[in-house]
Structure 1
Amino acid sequence: MSYFVLAHTTQSTGSFLTACLLVFYISITVLYRLYWHPLAKIPGQKLACASGLVEFYHDIVLRGNYVKAFPSLHAKYGPVIRIAPDKVHIRDTEFWHEVHCSGTKWHKDPAHYSSIGGVGRSLATEVEVELHRQKRLLVRRFFSAQYITSIEPAVLSIVHRAMNKAAKSHAEGSPFNISALFSRITADSITQVLFGKTKEKMCGGEDAGEVIVSTLDLFSRSFLLTKHFPRLAGMLLNLPKRVASYLLPGYIGFRRQVETWIDEVEAQHRDGKLGGDKGSLSLLDLLIQPELGRDDNHLDVEIGLAPENKRALVDEVLAYYIAGTHSSSVTMSLAIYYLLSNPTKLQKLQYELDGLPSNQDGLLEFKSLSNHKAPYFNAILKETLRKASPVPGPLPRIVPVGGVNCYGYYLPAGVRVSTSIRLVHDDPSIFPEPQQFLPERWLDAGVHMLERHQVAFSKGTRVCIGMNLAWMEMALCLANFVRRFDMSLYKTDECTTAWRDCAIMVLDKPVQVSVEKIRCSFGSARTVHCIHDTLVLRRPN
């Protein structure tokens, strides 16, 4: 009997000591972070300085809301604040340019970019400067202005098909999800760049191609989960397919689809063929066989995308899809929302677009939408990008060797410092009334200063490689939709278009519209003029 009492007492004593040690460890850690940590003098919320609970709460519980809290935190604590025990955020537009300029010594934070969204070390998240340069050199031909111009007919065809779907919804008298329609357009466009063919040829039919869009939204919403639990993505990939798909369906489902596509292209390579349509070179061909581009680009570094490194290949393709699909579709969705919420601006835009020449199919081409020919339309796009900020949240960088002094605070080398595009675009000293949708600001004499601070695509060596593609597809899509249709919002208001920072901007709910009237019809006309309510067709002689 005494033996069991002694054993129980010993066990209880051990549990008590363990609990005491745990409390002691937590207490010492909190005290260290608050008073002795190298960042102890940086102001901020005490709980955020002591633990990562505040960041976790905003990311996971509030689903990507931390960047929205930054303006009030900076107003309270100043331009330099501590947002986590080892993280600092700085609100200073000129400092943003210093960090993101060409040749910057502020390198990407490996802990953040190697895990976010489960896309590994893709071009967008690569932290090694030389490796990033080599990867960019390898694929830059597919994002050059010359290449983007060459695929304009394919993009116009994609837009044309989407407009026919909108016209069908009008004929049926039913509203539709224009955000989803825009996602299909951008997914089709990036598929053309990646694989050199349309999604119908990739998926065996238009309906089957919906897998691209249907899982991307779930996938993007998984970003914050894998950010805080970076090993989760790798663990899920090693689980049985059914279990992994149940736990994180968007991520696992789309990843496995991409693996299938890569296998198909690799099979073509074994047969001595390239993956693009009619045997043309595609971006994926270069990712699988980098030697195809080494001679032209003087590549001399192993970029880690050989066929045996399947995970790296999948990461790269996933990153292109996320960046090339979601960001552009969200921007276009918000553009439609802003325009339909501002009838005067919409009418002014339609009047400008009505006066532009169209092609033989009645569609506006990219050359007709230049800033010189369509200044108000370009102002609409620029203002939407300012308001939308496709990547709104913190972009962590590492303080370079030697440390820096900022606003009287010393930041030692190795500290994780971030800035946010959202706060640059909301700087009232540069963009007066930043919360208002004011495209007219881009038509004023001081537009050159504004354009310097339009950083939706970032700047420097890390500028978005897909900028030309994104701008073209947004221009072609928005211009033709607005010119052809009179639309109204359906069950969509300011509340439903609230956004979250999931590494990229994600809308709470999609933008839905009803087509009230078709302003212009497609046909064999060489030019189509839509002047208010009158449709004038000029047929060839």
Structure 2
Amino acid sequence: MYSILVPVGVASILFVYFIISPVFIYFQDRKNFRKYPSINAIAGITDLGFMYEYYKGFTSKSLNRSKRLNELHKIHPVIRIGPNSLSFSGVQAIKDIYGHGTPCTKDAFYEVTAGTHSHLADVIDKAEHARKRKVLSSAYALKNLEDWEFKVAEKADQFLKACDAAATAPLKAGTNPDPSDLKFDYRKYSNFFSIDAIADIGISEKLGMLVRGDDTCSAERMDGTMHEVHFRDALHSLARAQVCLVWAYPWYKFNTFLSKLVSSDFRRMMHLDRCWNDMVYHRARKRMARYEAGESHDDFFQALMHDKSGQDHNLDWGEIVAEVSIMMNAGSDTTAMAMVNVMYYLLKHPDILKKLREEVDAVVDADEVVTPYDKVKHLPYLQAVLNESLRISPPVVFSLPRKTPAEGYQISSEFIPGNTSVSISAYVAHRDEEVFPDAETFNPDRWLGDKGRELQRGFIAFSAGARGCIGRNISYLEQTVLLASVVHRYEMALASPDWEPEVLEGTNLWMKEMPVKVWLRQM
């Protein structure tokens, strides 16, 4: 008898907890959220709805989640993406959620995905964030760009040498490249560039990925044993696993455990997560040993240890490792995505590439290989091209979630009750026709002159406000030098004019590969 009652009782409890209770809460509607349309049929009842939307991003070549959210926002300013989560659109909502002085804080997403120590990107407490940003602001200050330009120039030179090695005869007019001439994967090498650059800027280490043509690097377990990891696989697997599982915050750890139990794919992703941690730990430990041996380098790590006057910051070892981790993560991936995206759009729009090339050629000598940053940093069309690419394909499409204060908060025209998760997708914000008319068209001219400055109010490629990306100056430096150098020296072609990339949609937009034909320009 009991052998029957126990499983029936357990099943009944689970049925009530996972089915009856969410449906009851949905119809009870204490926060009056049923008035908002949902991204899918079950998103208002259970977080499984939004988890499913993210899962689809890794099983399809199209941007299902971002495109669907954008289509809904063309009609509705607020979309329900979870039982307690709302997505917004509009410039005023950007200011209210992310702007300076907002009472919104980072929501539980950052807490449940954080390690033992928070870093600048996932710390929630505003006072603690201010302390961390003060420590790091000197390292990321605009005045440091010129001190670091030689490191970026070295990586650009190595990138160009890889292009030289893959160069073929010029493409005959009106033809498509022979498949055997598509020797250079711009996606892969732009990622090697950004990884090598941030490692040198951040911890004064030469990883050498551009020279070798692969992303293997050493890693160290806590017991001191060494092994090798593929940098990109480890980083992307962590992000893919987290973003599919995290949205039911209280259940994140259980979801992780269960997914490893039933799915070999998730077991592999979680293993690569440990590989990422080993890689970061090894980088941080080696740089600390050099620091303790008396080596002094003008890099990110040095800024973690003490300020410009030599005053020690006295950070915990765990906090140092956490900051190195987010630096290696955010400092490599999103910049690489921006680099490959902008080249893709230029190759799809030869008239725009021609106009950009004329601007660069006018200030760069014919025999200059790596373009000096000082010559091109203020070129208006070059900056317009970079911004337009970041607008139409923002590397971060993950809607950075914030939590409203306990007393509730007015966002745009809606009063939102307290402790609600609120967010705006950059993909959606950058397609606001009131700010960016003809938003689906790649049009750098929109950024020129006074009208370009006005567009900044709707531009959140680097987020906004006090929690905006601290590394945006470094990213622009790398993008500017590399793009100017490439368009000045080379012609490139996609497999065909109608070639489209395969893109994975998670926290970021990952283009899987972009093989191109490369040949030297006749100057």
Query: Shared fold by TM > 0.5?
Result: yes
Q: 1:365 offset after TM fit, Å?
A: 1.2
Name the structure 1 match of 2:290: 268
Name the structure 2 match of 1:38: 31
Q: 1:444 offset after TM fit, Å?
A: 5.4
1:114/1:120 contact within 8 Å kept: no
Name the structure 1 match of 2:392: 387
Name the structure 2 match of 1:175: 183
1:283 is matched with which residue: 282, 292, 300?
300
Matched, 1:510 2:510: no
1:99 is matched with which residue: 72, 91, 97?
97
Could you list the per-position Cα deviations for residues 400-456 of structure 1 after superposition, in whole angstroms to 9, with x for gaps in the alignment?
243134576542111111122221111011111111101111125522211332221
Could you list the per-position Cα deviations for residues 191-250 of structure 1 after superposition, in whole angstroms to 9, with x for gaps in the alignment?
11211232249x9998755944454343443341463574389989xx9xxx99845343
Q: 1:297 offset after TM fit, Å?
A: 8.2
Could you list the per-position Cα deviations for residues 9-62 of structure 1 after superposition, in whole angstroms to 9, with x for gaps in the alignment?
x43244334434443443133122233332444422351111112111111244
Secondary structure at the aligned position of 2:332 is classed as helix
For 2:11 and 2:282, the matched residues in 1 are separated by 50
Q: 1:145 offset after TM fit, Å?
A: 1.6
Name the structure 2 match of 1:473: 478
Secondary structure at the aligned position of 1:394 is classed as coil
1:356/1:364 contact within 8 Å kept: no
Q: 1:256 offset after TM fit, Å?
A: 0.6
Q: 1:295 offset after TM fit, Å?
A: 5.9
Secondary structure at the aligned position of 1:103 is classed as coil
2:459 is matched with which residue: 445, 454, 463?
454
For 1:411 and 1:452, the matched residues in 2 are separated by 22
Q: 1:118 offset after TM fit, Å?
A: 6.3
Could you list the per-position Cα deviations for residues 122-146 of structure 1 after superposition, in whole angstroms to 9, with x for gaps in the alignment?
2111111111111111122221122
Matched, 1:221 2:221: no
- In structure 2, give the amino acid aligned to 1:469: I
Name the structure 2 match of 1:539: none
Instruction: Provide the identity percentage.
Output: 23
For 1:327 and 1:125, the matched residues in 2 are separated by 17
1:158/1:188 contact within 8 Å kept: yes
Secondary structure at the aligned position of 2:364 is classed as coil
Matched, 1:317 2:327: no
Compared with structure 1, are the counterparts of its residues 408 and 194 closer, same or farther at alpha carbon in structure 2 (3 Å cutoff)? Answer: closer
1:425/1:453 contact within 8 Å kept: yes
Name the structure 1 match of 2:316: 306
Name the structure 1 match of 2:150: 153
Name the structure 2 match of 1:259: 281
Compared with structure 1, are the counterparts of its residues 16 and 177 closer, same or farther at alpha carbon in structure 2 (3 Å cutoff)? Answer: same
For 1:510 and 1:347, the matched residues in 2 are separated by 24
Name the structure 1 match of 2:439: 434
Q: 1:81 offset after TM fit, Å?
A: 2.3
2:192/2:215 contact within 8 Å kept: no
- In structure 1, give the amino acid aligned to 2:36: P
For 1:72 and 1:206, the matched residues in 2 are separated by 39
Larger radius of gyration: 1
Secondary structure at the aligned position of 1:114 is classed as helix
- In structure 1, give the amino acid aligned to 2:351: T
Q: 1:340 offset after TM fit, Å?
A: 0.7
For 1:224 and 1:460, the matched residues in 2 are separated by 24
For 1:118 and 1:222, the matched residues in 2 are separated by 15
Q: 1:181 offset after TM fit, Å?
A: 0.7
Matched, 1:29 2:22: yes
Secondary structure at the aligned position of 1:393 is classed as coil
Secondary structure at the aligned position of 2:400 is classed as strand
1:80/1:407 contact within 8 Å kept: no
Unaligned runs of 5+ in 2: 169-179, 218-228
Compared with structure 1, are the counterparts of its residues 117 and 354 closer, same or farther at alpha carbon in structure 2 (3 Å cutoff)? Answer: farther
Which aligned pairs between 1:115-154 and structure 2 lie closer than 5 A? 115-116=112-113, 121-154=118-151
Name the structure 2 match of 1:522: none
For 2:214 and 2:8, the matched residues in 1 are separated by 64
Name the structure 2 match of 1:523: none
Question: TM-score, normalised to structure 1's length?
Answer: 0.81
1:382/1:442 contact within 8 Å kept: yes
Which aligned pairs between 1:514-533 and structure 2 lie closer than 5 A? 514-515=517-518, 517-519=519-521, 533=522
Question: TM-score, normalised to structure 2's length?
Answer: 0.83
Unaligned runs of 5+ in 1: 1-6, 520-532, 536-541
Secondary structure at the aligned position of 2:395 is classed as coil
For 2:401 and 2:271, the matched residues in 1 are separated by 28
- In structure 1, give the amino acid aligned to 2:142: A
For 1:387 and 1:450, the matched residues in 2 are separated by 13
Secondary structure at the aligned position of 2:470 is classed as coil
Name the structure 2 match of 1:397: 402
Name the structure 2 match of 1:538: none
For 2:3 and 2:366, the matched residues in 1 are separated by 84
- In structure 1, give the amino acid aligned to 2:133: R
Compared with structure 1, are the counterparts of its residues 494 and 69 closer, same or farther at alpha carbon in structure 2 (3 Å cutoff)? Answer: farther
- In structure 2, give the amino acid aligned to 1:184: F
Matched, 1:85 2:83: yes
Secondary structure at the aligned position of 1:487 is classed as strand
Compared with structure 1, are the counterparts of its residues 40 and 193 closer, same or farther at alpha carbon in structure 2 (3 Å cutoff)? Answer: same
Q: 1:100 offset after TM fit, Å?
A: 1.6
Secondary structure at the aligned position of 2:131 is classed as helix
Name the structure 1 match of 2:226: none
Instruction: Please say which of residues 61-70 and 144-153 is displaced more in the overlay.
Output: 61-70
Secondary structure at the aligned position of 1:506 is classed as strand
Could you list the per-position Cα deviations for residues 326-373 of structure 1 after superposition, in whole angstroms to 9, with x for gaps in the alignment?
1111111111111111111111111221111349854321111133xx
Could you list the per-position Cα deviations for residues 491-523 of structure 1 after superposition, in whole angstroms to 9, with x for gaps in the alignment?
7956425351x222222x2122111x301xxxx
Name the structure 1 match of 2:491: 486
Name the structure 2 match of 1:69: 68
Secondary structure at the aligned position of 1:474 is classed as helix
- In structure 2, give the amino acid aligned to 1:306: D
Q: 1:92 offset after TM fit, Å?
A: 2.0
2:92/2:412 contact within 8 Å kept: no
Compared with structure 1, are the counterparts of its residues 87 and 385 closer, same or farther at alpha carbon in structure 2 (3 Å cutoff)? Answer: same
1:363 is matched with which residue: 363, 366, 370?
370
- In structure 2, give the amino acid aligned to 1:293: D
For 1:32 and 1:214, the matched residues in 2 are separated by 40
Name the structure 1 match of 2:176: none
Compared with structure 1, are the counterparts of its residues 250 and 177 closer, same or farther at alpha carbon in structure 2 (3 Å cutoff)? Answer: farther
Name the structure 1 match of 2:380: 375
For 1:337 and 1:42, the matched residues in 2 are separated by 41
